[in-house]
């Protein structure tokens, strides 16, 4: 999806007319709400998957309603905490921008962090995903994106954006695995990666001995089946057929 940084009102209207029939999603970036005015007279009905990153927090009233009808997704500084401007520009020009985060919202009522990728796709991460047994715990009142959208900071606690995507986006996980050099695609290696990602020790499988988990991870025994496979999957919070995708 191309990121279209629009500096002129006429350019935006012309681009909408040319692209609105496309089935591919398009990300538009506008620095001012005033640049969007020509669209009012250029659009009969919303078409296509148009997404808007508006670097202006003055979107209000009827104009906001119009743009909500026109664009499938709108992200503004008053709805989410965005990257600093210079980092945002760098991310939007990066080839892998869809694997980086440009903004986020902490929803304390539902206990979830809503993260926006470079294409404005959302990733919903429950608070519990960040809370582990370590000495540093996340502070959800102090949220920031750092390192050009690669790091999520919650107070003194930090998490890699790639770890979030690896756990919540099967497509990202498949691509990451495909790009690994000397990748071990065995079931045992996938089980070990998932177990470590979850912060689970080999002793944390109540009905399965730690030495059995170790042997499975070393591929010294056949892939578990039936009840044993279900018990492993349940403990790690995935479906049995998902283990091999890690």
Beta bridge pairs of residue 73: 51
Predicted confidence at residue 104, as pLDDT, reads 97
* Angle, vertex CA 66, rays to CA 63 and CA 72, nearest 5: 125
Q: Which of these, 38, 87, 100, lies nearest to 63 by C-alpha position?
A: 38
> Residue 60, exposed/middle/buried by CB under 10 A (0-12, 13-18, 19+)?
exposed
**3-class DSSP state of 1:** coil
- For residue 239, name the pLDDT band (cuts at 50, 70, 90): very high
Predicted confidence at residue 136, as pLDDT, reads 85
Predicted confidence at residue 215, as pLDDT, reads 87
When the pLDDT of each residue in the chain is averaged and rounded to a whole number, the result is 82
pTM for the model stands at 0.66
Predicted confidence at residue 145, as pLDDT, reads 95
Mean pLDDT of 37-62: 71
Q: Which residue would you say has higher pLDDT here, 126 or 42? A: 126
For the chain, the distance separating the N- and C-terminal CA atoms, rounded to the nearest angstrom, is 26
Residue 6 in this model has a pLDDT that exceeds 70: no
Q: Find all residues with CB under 8 Å of 101, minimum gap 6, and list them.
A: 83, 115, 116, 117, 118, 123, 145, 149, 150, 152, 161
């Amino acid at each position: 999806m191309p990121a279209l940084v629009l500096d002129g009102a006429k350019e935006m209207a012309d681009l909408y007319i040319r692209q609105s029939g496309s089935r591919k999603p398009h990300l538009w970036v506008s620095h001012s709400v005033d640049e969007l005015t020509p669209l009012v007279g250029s659009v009969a009905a919303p078409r296509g998957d148009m997404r808007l990153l508006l670097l202006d927090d003055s979107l209000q009233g009827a104009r906001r309603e119009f743009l909500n009808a026109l664009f499938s997704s709108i992200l503004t500084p008053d709805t989410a905490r965005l990257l600093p401007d210079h980092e945002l520009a760098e991310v939007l020009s990066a080839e892998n921008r869809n694997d980086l985060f440009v903004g986020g919202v902490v929803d304390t009522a539902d206990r979830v962090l809503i993260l926006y990728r470079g294409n404005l796709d959302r990733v919903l991460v429950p608070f519990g995903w960040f809370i582990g047994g370590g000495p540093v715990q996340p502070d959800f009142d102090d949220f920031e994106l750092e390192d050009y959208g690669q790091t999520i900071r919650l107070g003194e606690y930090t998490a890699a954006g790639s770890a979030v995507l690896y756990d919540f986006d099967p497509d990202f996980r498949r691509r990451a695995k495909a790009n690994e050099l000397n990748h071990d695609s065995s079931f045992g290696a996938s089980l070990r990666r998932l177990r470590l990602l979850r912060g689970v020790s080999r002793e944390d499988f109540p009905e399965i001995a730690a030495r059995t988990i170790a042997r499975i991870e070393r591929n010294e025994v056949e892939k578990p089946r039936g009840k044993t496979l279900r018990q492993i999957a349940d403990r790690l919070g995935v479906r049995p057929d998902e283990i091999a995708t890690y």
